[in-house]
Amino acid sequence: MNHPQTPKGQETLDWAARFKLLAQQARHPLLQRFYQAGVISAQTPLEQVELLAMDLETTGLDALTDSIVSIGLLPFTLKRIRCGEALYWVIKPSQLSHESVTFHRITHADVRHAPRLPDVMKKVLETMEGKIMVVHYRAIERNFLDQALRHHFGEGLHFPVIDTMQLEARQVCGDRGWLYRLFRRSPASIRLADSRVRYHLPPYHAHHALTDALATAELLQAQIATHYSPSIAIRQLWD
């Protein structure tokens, strides 16, 4: 039986070794530089890790057909989230559907003079260098960035991620007992806003990449303060 806080297989992840390999394989100079900057060792206590909260707003959920419309980045540590170093871009997507406009409120007018993704990728990758990314639901950020880079640079992007949704799932779903099965209660929501409520974090307006990045960073601080220790090894959290 799996221990809820250390799912099977995580101990074997060694992002430092993997980055060495990726650095050798990468051809695009931006990616070479990103991988060469390396990753901290898997044993590093979380309190010593430079983190980067990341959130993307996209035109849809399919990384193959939809595109990125905004990026929010917010550097932080377990102690402080540094709003002063926040970065935010609205990106000109290949197409902007009406449904997504109502969702994240970025309009055609907003994107008319916006940069395209390759124009901001240099700064994004530089900001990511040496940091551990923190997202809520890793599939979005990973897949969309990977796809976007394949599209523009001809090769994909790999990076370690702490997924606050996954951490929340460990708490909420990891420990289902017979009582739960007996009553078949629907599992508690692990969406960002609902997760925050469990830690008495205030409600924020959702679907602004920078606000969501801030909300995610705060959630990680709360999760660590509540369920883990600041000295927990990064290997137990990343993926």
Partner 1 sequence: MQIELLEISEHFHRFPPFDALPQETLEAIARRVEVSYFKAGSEILEAGAVIHDLHYVRSGAVEIYRRSGELYNRLVEGDIFGQAGLLRSNKVRFPARALEDSLIYFIPADVFAQLCERYDSFADFVEAEGHSRLKSAVEAQGRASELIQLKARALISRDLVWVTPKTSVHEAARLMSQESVSCIVVLEPAGQNPEKMLGIVTDRDLRTRVVAANRTGDTAIGEVMSTDLVVIQDDDSLFEAMLCMLRGNIHHLPVVHKGRTLGLINLSDIIRHESQSSLYLVNSISNQTSVDGLRSRHRDLRGTYIRMVRNGATAHMIGSAISGIGRAFTQRLLELAERELGPPPVPYCFMVLGSMARDEQLLVTDQDNALVLDDRFDPAQHDEYFRKLATFVSDGLAQCGYSYCKGGIMATNVQWRQPLRVWRDYFSQWIEKPNAATLLNSYIFFDLDGVYGQLDMVDALKALCAERSRVTPAFLAAMARNALNRTPPLGFFRTFVMETDGRQKQIINLKGRGTGPLTDLIRIHALACGTTAQNSFDRLEAISTTQLVQPEAIEHLRYALEFLSMVRIRHQANAIEQGHKPDNYIEPERFSTTERHNLKEAFQVLSNAQKFLRFRYPGHARPTR
Applying CB under 8 A, the residues found at the interface with partner 1 are 76, 79-84, 86-88, 199-202, 204-205, 208, 210-211, 214, 217-218, 221-222, 225-226
Is 48:131 a contact under the CB 8 Å cutoff? no
Shortest separation between residue 49's beta carbon and partner 1, angstroms? 16
> Measured from the CB atom, is 149 or 224 closer to partner 1?
224
Q: Cβ 216 to partner 1, closest distance in Å?
A: 12
Q: Looking at beta carbons only, is 22 or 111 nearer to partner 1?
A: 111
Of 35 and 76, nearer to partner 1 (C-beta) is: 76
Q: Which two tokens stand for residue 16?
A: 């430092």
Q: Distance of CA 119 to CAs 54, 56, 85, 90, Å?
A: 18, 16, 19, 11
In the complex, the smallest distance separating the C-beta of residue 124 from partner 1, rounded to whole angstroms, is 13
Using only C-alpha atoms, what is the Rg of the chain?
Answer: 18
DSSP-assigned letters across all residues of 92-129: --S---HHHHHHH---HHHHHTPPPHHHHHHHHHHHHT
Q: How far is the CB of 223 from partner 1 (least distance, A)?
A: 9
Longest dimension (CA), the chain: 56
Using an 8 Å Cβ cutoff, are 214 and 221 in contact? no
Pick 86 or 169: Cβ nearer partner 1: 86
Q: Which is nearer to partner 1, 79 or 181 (CB)?
A: 79
Give the nearest distance from C-beta 51 to partner 1 in angstroms: 13
Residue (82 or 122) nearer to partner 1, CB: 82
Q: CA-CA distance, 135 to 216, in Å (whole number)? A: 6
38: region left, alpha or beta (phi > 0 left; psi from -120 to 50 alpha): left
User: What is the rounded distance in angstroms from the CA atom of residue 36 to the CA atom of residue 24?
Assistant: 9
* Shortest distance, position 139 Cβ to partner 1, whole Å: 25
* Nearer residue to partner 1 within complex by CB, 78 or 145: 78
Distance in Å, CB of 40 to partner 1, minimum? 22
Which residues are CB-contacts of 70 (< 8 A; sequence separation ≥ 6)?
Answer: 56, 57, 88, 89, 90, 91, 104, 106, 208, 209
